[in-house]
Chains A and B, each alone.
Chain A
Amino acid sequence: MAEDLNSEIKLSELSTQAGVPPRTIRLYISRGLLAGPLRGGRGAVYGKEHLETLHKIRDLQAKGLTLKEIAHVLAGEGPPEGLPEPAAWWSYRLAPDVFVWVRGDVSPWRSRQIRGALARMTAEISPDEEEEGNDGHRR
């Protein structure tokens, strides 16, 4: 019985022990990161596994995972390790009907080379723009 009392705690105690505010715990439960209380309604209680999960969430956050990723890990859908490294891409609109994607981490000289080529291509494929007035201005 004494063991039960120790392992069943109220939300406020869970919050104190885990160092996570009650509002955040409710958010985790709503997002499916943490299971709901062991008993609902008046006198809702939480167990040791809640505390462990909260510690696990904190550890995974410290490793740089977002809550979305942590949800995947906790759901047993496999850690994000082993996935291909993400890459940033720049998108250039050369014309209304032509877009070109260029990898964002290319070296500066390569970037200049590509941009130069894109500028030439833009000039070649651009549709004729609306002509300016004689003076090139609007009255």
Chain B
Amino acid sequence: MDTDAETTAGVFMPLSAETGAPCELAMQELFLLGKVLPVGAQLLVRHTFRSAEKGPVEVVYSFALPRDAALRRFRVTGKGFSIHSELRALKEAQELYEKGIEGGHLSVLTRQYGDGLVNLNLGNLRPGEEVTVYLEILAGVELRDTGLRFRFPFTLAPSYHAKAKAIEVEPGQGEIELPGEEFGDIILPRWVEDSQSLHRVGFDLKVSMPGGIAEVASPSHPLRVRNKDDSSTQVSLATAGDLPNRDLVLDVRARGALSETFAGVGKDGKGRFAVVVSSDKFGKTTQAPRRVVFVLDRSGSMEGVPIQQALRSVDACLGALSSDDEFGIVAFDDKVALFQTAMVRGDAEARQRAKQFLTGISARGGTELLAGLLEAHRLLAGHGGDVFLVTDGQVFGTEQIIQRLKAGGIRIHCLGIGSASQDRFLSLLARESGGVSRFLTPRERVDIAAVELFSSAGRPLASDLRVEPKGLPRAGILPSPPGAVFQDNPLVVFGATQGEGEGSLEISWHAGQDSKTLSIPIHVGEDGPAGMLRLLQGSRIVTDLETQLGGHGEGAAEKRMESRVARALEKASFEYGLACSLTALVAVLQREGDRPGELPKTRVVPVGMPQDVRFLSYFAVARGVVACELARASDIADREPYSVETSLSPLLARRARRLSNEDVLLELATQLEPDGGLPGGTEEERVIGSLAMLLLLLSEGHTPQQGAFALHVQRILSYLESVGMSWADQDQRKMIDEALCAAKQGRPVEGDWLSLACAYRKNGKITSKRLWKELRAAAEP
């Protein structure tokens, strides 16, 4: 790892908001270092612990793993020492740690639990001592044809479980306790509403894309970007430090479609490769009819901006349905509500009624995600179809949910909305069920992303996908590639071979009735990131097996299966040198002055309540003794009330009043009639309105082949080509034909189409004179 970066990156000091004096925290700082590639990231997380106690302390820090992540190792440094972790079987590691604690030695243990939660334990930190733990993590990225999204959790999302107990223990501080029989001895942190007084976070990452980087941006943090060369960039936090109340989200846009091959030979003499194939290599999306059930999370944690965003997203997707499609809507909290008890045709009337159904939805209650998804499964009634899930994913016990749904055989596409990541869960749920996922922050344009994701739901570009290595000695592919490829979701394949060599990856698939093939050349040479590829491949394998471990079957056959998975997981863990829930990383250091038998005080590091999640949505219904305290009138009067209906931030509220181009397009998109045209009193009015919308779509970069509204462009084009235009004179027909020709080529036509579209939005029609005037002006040389 980049040891220079370890020493040069900034060090922060959290200060008390009241006095400005340094805070006496067990954990002072969390700093993220490492490198990000299109096939994954190799990260080094620096945790700085300092004790202000009079006796020894045992610090417990809980965190969530990013998607497809595994812990590799850690290094502990302090005054005059530096020790490395060992990977051991869980029981052995725990015994070593406990023995170390009892002997008064500095002891460190990282243990992974279900849901990708990890407890980092640092025992016998001495009074006044500062110790740093560098933890190496391998993680996946969310890949698209045009680039990647990297997400790292700086806080932990509080989540729902039917048997969990959530309570406000101090004003503005909440705790969640999980049932031990299901979740073991995991220690969850205390969630703090105001994260100002917590440890500081920061990052300094190297981002590389062999094909070149066009742009790096973040919807979550201010960035400082230093270009190293065309294909790599150093990205760090622009401010001196930040709060642990949201994920780091990095968007990296590539120059051109992302198709890359990474390969190299490792120290073990084995060749490793990872191939990224952009989805456009598999063809274009068709307009085949589809059956889709929208599953909408309306639990209390979605309250505020997330539920508004979720509702807008489903509303926007409804506009992309045609009358040949069938759809259903399921809204769930701890109860399930249905739009209709059966699937309905996507005609204008049904879509209108669905919109009405959405207006009655507000956030409340728990997150019985499984119940919502099972209801969707019932609606699809074994006739095939896709589920489009919109959620923050804030649930515990995710492995069981994934296994139950995998057995049900429904394909789930996930649109995650949240500032603290459940990206790991949703990406696994989508992958295991054969779907795709996106995870956005509530402050982004979620509805456009929803339309984009929805356009691929139910319409894979490639089915029955087969991938085989050819020409490389003893080559194998692992983990198994997905069975289908969807628009804007590249195929990623990991593999290994015996040393250097030249060969190819032979890909075959079905597109409708046609069989197709593709050959990708692979050159495995001496140079290349073989070590990193091996670890990323291992972390994918370990993550997949981890998910299968949560089946909790009761029968003998299920138990045998679970036992087989456990053996495979432990074997993979040691083979790749990556920790899992059956193994753990441990280190013990004997030092002079150790005081055996002295009991360290346990200090659990608190985390910030995720930005955009209301503290009271988890900790409002206080129970027992605390309920009494909360019920005091003075407490309620002092507490700033929260809003269900109108809680948009001032910025978003302003946006809601001032419509953007995307707002206009979304609104018009939802009005499209089953034949693909906008409504109107006469055929002429319909054509004029539809043409203005088509030209606006083109000017915004949406073509029949690309953009969130690609399907809408196709539908309007199809309408305009089929409709009779006896009312138009020769000159007008010519202008329409030229506009349609431009649309088919994806070529924008100059003109103020936004004004025309807005006029249609406002009045339900446009004066045709304005359209002809703009088209004539555009035709002038």
Contact = CB atoms under 8 A, between A and B. Distances in A.
Interface of A: 11-12, 20-24, 26-27, 29-31, 36-37, 40-44, 61, 64-69, 72, 77, 80, 83-84, 86-94, 99, 101, 104, 122, 129-130, 132-133, 135-139
B593 interface: no
Contact of B597 (A43, A61, A93, A139): A43
Interface stretch (B136-144, B413-421, B466-474, B652-660): B652-660
Main secondary structure of the interface of A (DSSP, over half): loop
Given A93-B641, A130-B657, A139-B754, A86 B759 contact: no
Given A26-B599, A41-B598, A68 B646 contact: no
Given A65-B165, A137-B758, 11 more contacts: A21-B94, A23-B187, A27-B60, A37-B599, A42-B595, A68-B169, A80-B623, A86-B621, A86-B623, A99-B641, A137-B660
B603 interface: yes
Contacts of A43: 597
Given A21-B185, A23-B121, A92-B643, A44 B597 contact: yes
A110 B616 CA distance: 23
Contacts of A130: 654, 657-658
Contacts of B643: 91-93, 99
A38 to B, nearest CB: 12
Contact count band on B: 35 or more
Contacts, number: 146
Contacts of A24: 185, 187
B688 to A, nearest CB: 17
Nearest to A139: B754
15 contacts: A11-B102, A22-B98, A23-B121, A27-B604, A29-B602, A40-B597, A69-B626, A72-B624, A83-B625, A83-B628, A86-B630, A86-B631, A94-B646, A122-B646, A136-B762
A77 B629 CA distance: 14
Closest 8 A-B residue pairs measured CB to CB? Answer: A80-B624, A93-B643, A135-B758, A42-B597, A30-B602, A86-B627, A91-B641, A99-B641
Nearest to A20: B185
A129 B653 CA distance: 10
B596 A132 contact: no
B406 interface: no
Given A86-B627, A137-B660, A36 B620 contact: no
A42 to B, nearest CB: 4
A15 to B, nearest CB: 8
B663 interface: yes
Interface in B606-650: 620-628, 630-631, 636, 641-647
B625 A44 contact: no
A12 B641 contact: no
Contacts of A88: 620-621
Contact of A68 (B175, B596, B641): B175
A26 B600 contact: yes
